[in-house]
Amino acid sequence: MSGLEVIGVVLGAIPLIISALDSYKVTSQRIKFMMKKELLLNQLIESLEEQKFFLQTDICLALKVTHLEEKQIITLIDEQGLNLFQNPEVADALREYLGEGFILYTNAVARCQHILSDIVANISGLVSTLQWEKNGLPTVLQTQPRKNGKFEFTKRIKFSVRKEDLQRQIQDLDASTKTLSRLRDHSIARQNITVQPRSKTITKYTSALNIVQNYAQHLYSAISCGCIAGCHPEHEARLFLQTRSSEMDKKHPSSLKKTAVSFILTFSPRPISLHPSFLHNKYEVKVLEEDLDHFEDGLKIDRASQTTVQINLPSTLRTSSPSPRQIEDLCQSLHRAYENRQSLDLYLSRCAKLCYCSGSNPGLNINIKDGVPYDTLTLRDILLIMQDSKSTTPKWTINQQIALSFNITSSIMQLHSTPWLTSPLTSSSILFMCDSLKFANIPQPFIVREFPTQNRTTSRRTAKASLLELGIMLLEIWHMKPIDDYASERDLQTNDSYGTRYEVARHWLSFSDDNMLPFYLELVTRCIECTFATTAATPDWGDFTFRMSVCEHVLKPLWENCPQKLR
């Protein structure tokens, strides 16, 4: 018997058993019955009703795609009975609705069938012992007469079962119902929900993040060109993560002028400990929207040969700033500006050129607080510190946890498919300055990339893998605990493989219902299960519908629940 046929058998058997038990209650010896079995029998009937309700509801949800109303679906179930799932449309709809949980669901229903079989085996008057042992529940359903849609019993019904066995059957039914309920919740969360066309804000925000992603690609290329081979063996850039939340503001006035985009970073030779002065200033690299062709005559740039960073002056400063200059070594230029206490106004043009003009005011750069600027902690390190009861580090509030989750999620949407993210972000690859933990406000996270690159290529599995790791990070941030610590506590195997991390994440998620805000639980579930609308066969960062769905169901809820001052 197939899994779908089992569901049909269970759906048909439950009303029959309830009718038989009701008949037994009427014809039994009342005094003896009330003393020994009435309470437990009522509990058994209630458990059977709950089981029937969940199965019927699941079928109604699955058959929504057929545009039938709920009453029509219930009538269909009652009329077709065992033959219901011989209809390919019904069978396919239920498989699609349950998704990856189909096998788990049918296994749970099969366990329910065994419980029902035990109950029927103790009910005399339904079918002969010989027929029961030969064919089981399907035979009972096919041979039992009905009148006006109700079962008729030609013999007196007796229900002989010990109190302990009856209690066990009730417990087993309740456990089966809970399993079906949890699988249904996961199935609902798995459903791909198409982004509504009315969500202009989400469309705008998704497009804005896509523009940032293109500029991030250009920034990486420009920095790579600025690293001269003879300068230092290796260099390091720290890119600080930003939410870009202003693009989500619905009150933002419509304008043809694009919102200014900038990146905040530091740049230094490696090892950092030998060159700490490089990290005392962050630099804001502003993106220029206008073309810079009018600077090329002054710089005599050869378009066919761009192996160095071009230093150009933006048009808004042409009349008041020093003449544009060209440098061949980004590292040397930053060091010279620091030694001479000069400010640097850095720019990124549309054609992936780094530009600058210099001044005499060092205060224009973003100064990092005094301390050891090269000491860092990963997000995982911070979570471990906050678990320590002896630690004096201020623990993050719920609002700060949501703000950090929003920042990380938005940053993934900005940097996907670029060399900045050659592999999915995890709590071990997001870093913070050590001294920033001394303050109650949430520190600004950053990622690190080395230059020249070590022959890395962007992972082709980043869409699904990145969202799984994002879901894991959101779990870690909420529970203030790394996933490997959770796995160790539960004696679960963990490693770096996708399958293992997915199973541990699902296990953790299933035990998070009671202590996680509903909106947060839903978006974490979506990330782990990767349930988003797509136009491609599989989730792909190149699919605009997919990216917009992530913004709609993950970024938007985080933005809505994050205090404005923390965005």
For range 200-206, the mean pLDDT: 82
Phi, psi of 152 (to 5 degrees): -115, 140
What three-state secondary structure class fits 463?
Answer: helix
41 has a pLDDT exceeding 70: yes
Token digits for 348? 């990124």
- CA-wise closest residue to 384 among 488, 275, 490, 495: 488
DSSP-assigned letter for residue 194: P
Question: Which range (157-161, 196-200, 393-397) has the least confidence?
Answer: 196-200
Q: 123-131 contacts: CB < 8 A, separation 24 or more? A: 123/17, 123/20, 123/21, 123/24, 123/157, 123/158, 123/159, 124/155, 124/157, 124/158, 124/159, 124/160, 125/20, 125/153, 125/155, 125/156, 125/157, 125/158, 126/16, 126/20, 126/153, 126/157
Instruction: Give the residues across from 518 on adjacent strands.
Output: none
Question: Which range (195-204, 267-276, 341-350) has the least confidence?
Answer: 195-204
Q: Residue 111's pLDDT band (boundaries 50, 70, 90)?
A: confident
308 has a pLDDT exceeding 60: no
Rounded to 5°, angle at Cα 30 from 26 and 33: 100
> Where is 203: in which H helix or E strand?
helix 200-226
Q: Which residue has the higher pLDDT, 231 or 374?
A: 231
For range 463-471, the mean pLDDT: 94
Mean pLDDT value across the chain: 76
Q: In angstroms, rounded to a whole number, what is the distance separating the alpha carbons of residues 328 and 311?
A: 9
Q: Can you give the length of the chain in residues?
A: 567
Q: In angstroms, rounded to a whole number, what is the distance separating the alpha carbons of residues 360 and 340?
A: 9
Q: What is the pLDDT of residue 551?
A: 94
Q: In angstroms, rounded to a whole number, what is the distance separating the alpha carbons of residues 280 and 369?
A: 8
Q: Residue 523's pLDDT band (boundaries 50, 70, 90)?
A: very high
Q: Residue 324's pLDDT band (boundaries 50, 70, 90)?
A: very low
DSSP-assigned letter for residue 286: E
Q: Which residue has the higher pLDDT, 40 or 274?
A: 40
Instruction: Give the residues across from 281 on adjacent strands.
Output: 367
What three-state secondary structure class fits 238?
Answer: strand
Helices (H), 416-512: 462-479, 483-489, 498-510
Q: What is the pLDDT of residue 488?
A: 93
Q: What is the pLDDT of residue 187?
A: 64
**Is 464 within 8 Å of 538 (Cβ atoms)?**
yes
340 has a pLDDT exceeding 90: no
Q: What residues contact residue 83 under an 8 Å CB cut-off, 6+ apart?
A: 8
254 has a pLDDT exceeding 50: no
Three-class SS string for 337-393?
A: HHHCCCCEEEEECCCCCEEEEECCCHHHCEECCCCCCCCEEEHHHHHHHHHCCCCCC
Predicted TM-score (pTM) of the model is 0.61
What are 204-224's pLDDT values in tens digits? 888 889 889 999 998 998 888
Q: What residues contact residue 26 under an 8 Å CB cut-off, 6+ apart?
A: none
- Residue 76 CB neighbour total at 10 angstroms: 18
Q: Residue 42's pLDDT band (boundaries 50, 70, 90)?
A: confident
